[in-house]
Amino acid sequence: MIKIASVVSDIISNDEIALESLRSGILNLSAYARLITPGVEKKLYKHVRRGTIVTALSRLVSDMANTPSLRPHVKIEDISIKSPLVELSFDKSSQLIKEVNSFRSSLDTDKNFFTVTQGFGEVTIIMPEVLLTKALTHISQKPKSKYTALVAVNIRIIADNYIETPNMIYSLVATLAAKRINLIEIISTYTEISFIVNQSDMERTVDALKNHF
């Protein structure tokens, strides 16, 4: 038999705002119980008293007393900008891989922002816009998508704070999501993360991330 407390826990676990409010002790339990009562009853196939749901929520408050925040503070050491960039995406093939590798080897990538991401069926290149004509000449396959006027907002994080702490990337993405910033790509290495955004979103992206700087 499914217990009411289990259903309530499942529902609030999928509601980030309510879950964080509950952890912080600022969630109006009665109001939230009223909100989720239809969902609880639907899962249990029976009428459930609101007071029972409030009791279940109250117990969760005690259980979460020492639970870390869903959005830990991320300490950013450095922020840098690379612009303007272009993104090209291709259907993956052995010939394409050879041409991309050949193109990359012809460049001084130490001085350029240049990344290649290989998925199961696609390959994406992000590079300075000044290399676009050269890339399209060197690579015979027509790109399936092309985005220009992009910016890489690159951040560097202290390794000790980053690698072993859950939700670090989530915390940064949530910060940008709250500002309705469209992320074209996210590229990461050991202690660096690059958020690829439109040039029009560059200032808002930097301003949002400065809260962690």
On whether the CB atoms of residues 127 and 85 are closer than 8 A, the answer is yes
Considering the domain boundaries, does residue 41 fall inside one? yes
Distance CA 148, CA 52 (A): 55
What's the domain range around 165? 76-212
Asked whether residue 41 falls in the same domain as residue 107, the answer is no
The pLDDT assigned to 74 comes to 83
Considering the domain boundaries, does residue 95 fall inside one? yes
Asked whether residue 140 falls in the same domain as residue 187, the answer is yes
Asked whether residue 36 falls in the same domain as residue 111, the answer is no
pTM, to two decimals? 0.78
Asked whether residue 99 falls in the same domain as residue 190, the answer is yes
Distance CA 136, CA 190 (A): 31
The pLDDT assigned to 183 comes to 96
Considering the domain boundaries, does residue 153 fall inside one? yes
Strands 185-188 and 192-198: antiparallel
Considering the domain boundaries, does residue 70 fall inside one? no
Reading the chain (213 residues) residue by residue, the pLDDT tens digits are 678 899 999 999 888 889 888 888 889 999 999 999 999 999 999 999 999 999 999 998 887 767 777 888 888 889 999 999 999 999 999 999 999 999 998 887 677 789 999 999 999 999 999 999 999 999 999 999 999 999 999 999 877 666 777 888 888 999 999 899 999 999 998 889 999 999 999 999 999 998 776
Asked whether residue 205 falls in the same domain as residue 155, the answer is yes
Asked whether residue 96 falls in the same domain as residue 174, the answer is yes
The pLDDT assigned to 168 comes to 86
Q: Exposed/middle/buried for 107, CB within 10 Å: 0-12, 13-18, 19+?
A: middle
Q: Which amino acid is at 70?
A: L
Asked whether residue 116 falls in the same domain as residue 12, the answer is no
Percent helix, strand and coil across the chain, each rounded to 5?
45, 25, 30
Asked whether residue 32 falls in the same domain as residue 90, the answer is no
Q: What is the CATH number of the domain that holds 175?
A: 3.30.2130.10
Distance CA 211, CA 201 (A): 17
Those residues whose C-beta lies under 8 Å from the C-beta of residue 44, and which sit 6 or more positions away, are 2, 4, 7
Considering the domain boundaries, does residue 54 fall inside one? yes
Q: How many domains does the chain have?
A: 2
Asked whether residue 57 falls in the same domain as residue 105, the answer is no
Considering the domain boundaries, does residue 52 fall inside one? yes
Asked whether residue 57 falls in the same domain as residue 93, the answer is no
Considering the domain boundaries, does residue 69 fall inside one? no
